Amino acid sequence: MKLVDNVIQSFCVAKVFKENTLSINSMDFSSNGETLISSSDDDSIVIYDCEKGTYKKTLNSKKYGVDLIRYTHAANTAVHSSTKVDDTIRYLSLHDNKYLRYFPGHTKKVVTLCMSPVDDTFLSGSQDRSVRLWDLRSPNCQGLMHLSGQPVANFDPEGLIFAVGVTGEGVKLYDLRSFDKGPFTTFKVPHNKDCEWTGLKFSPDGKSLLISTNGQALHLIDAFHGTSLHTFKGHMNTKGMSIEASFSPDSQFVFTGSTDGKIHVWSAETGAKTAVLTSDQAGPVQCVQFSPKYMMLASASTNMAFWLPTVEEGL
């Protein structure tokens, strides 16, 4: 089945999971799409089976709290940031709920965390105005960039380049092999002074960059030239929240949540609004991602919802 407008418009909630007592703050599909992991303000990590559409298990991180959970390349391990004690990043075995390694260094809240798509490298960015480059095999930071403000960062789909953005300053692109020489290009990006940048993602085809904010706009820019492609508006964010925006696996659509519980979908090509999907999810939908393998969308508020299409392509 291909993702086309009428298929997107037909998505409905197929299952709701009520494992959490507080907001889900992040989630991540495994690279094969078979499982989904989430972290919550209630200090729990929940794993779902996407193939069966079932809850799998819950792990707790009562001591350190948990945010920004990300699968590594081994489906039974993850890294996450901490919300208590300190701002160390933690590498967790999901099999037995034991920490394999700690990555200390940040002195304020970690706001960006992403794994390389190809190896054991990962990036973190913090309110301490730094971005750090790590390798899962070593507790020592492999690279450190000091910035003028709070960063957003991510890898491109090939894992050769990473982008770092600072609100109002633009986006810098670094070559992973020579990042210590500084960025090889810098893009100025139009900025609304009323909001901060809260997320940065490359499209799966590597051609564009999506910047999410804590306001009511998303920016799509060309990943090669930095030109502005579209500004997506119309979703509600009245609380200044960090609301995730994501691409469909074919890079054709952009999804985001909203504080009124709706999911907004735009065409990445034309910038036109494709759909507004409504559910019974109470409160803000902070996280939205499309499965890399299945025709399935996941959205998270306090509850986790799995969405499926109700029509077939072309009908």
> Which pLDDT score, from 0 to 100, does residue 1 have?
62
- What span, in angstroms and rounded, lies between the C-alpha atoms of 62 and 248? 34
What are the residues facing 275 on neighbouring strands?
265
Q: How many CB atoms lie within 10 A of CB 239?
A: 10
- State the distance between the two ends of the chain, measured CA to CA, in whole angstroms: 12
Q: What is the dihedral of CA 111, 187, 288, 192, to 10 degrees?
A: 80
> Which domains are seen in the chain, by residue range?
5-308 (2.130.10.10)
Q: What are the pLDDT digits (tens) for 116-160?
A: 999 999 999 999 999 999 999 999 999 999 998 999 999 999 999
Are 176 and 196 within 8 A, CB to CB?
A: no
pLDDT band per the 50, 70, 90 thresholds, residue 184:
very high
pLDDT tens profile 6-27: 999 999 999 999 998 999 999 9
Please give the biggest Cα pair distance in the chain.
55
d(CA 6, CA 51): 24
Q: Within 13 Å, how many C-alpha atoms sit on residue 28's CB side?
A: 21
DSSP secondary structure, 220-233, as one string? EEETTT--EEEEEE
The pLDDT assigned to 315 comes to 46
For the chain, what's the residue count? Answer: 315
Q: Please say if the pLDDT value at position 313 is more than 70.
A: no
Residue range 37-76, pLDDT digits in tens:
999 999 999 999 999 999 999 998 877 778 899 999 987 9
The average confidence (pLDDT) of the chain is 91
pTM for this predicted structure = 0.92
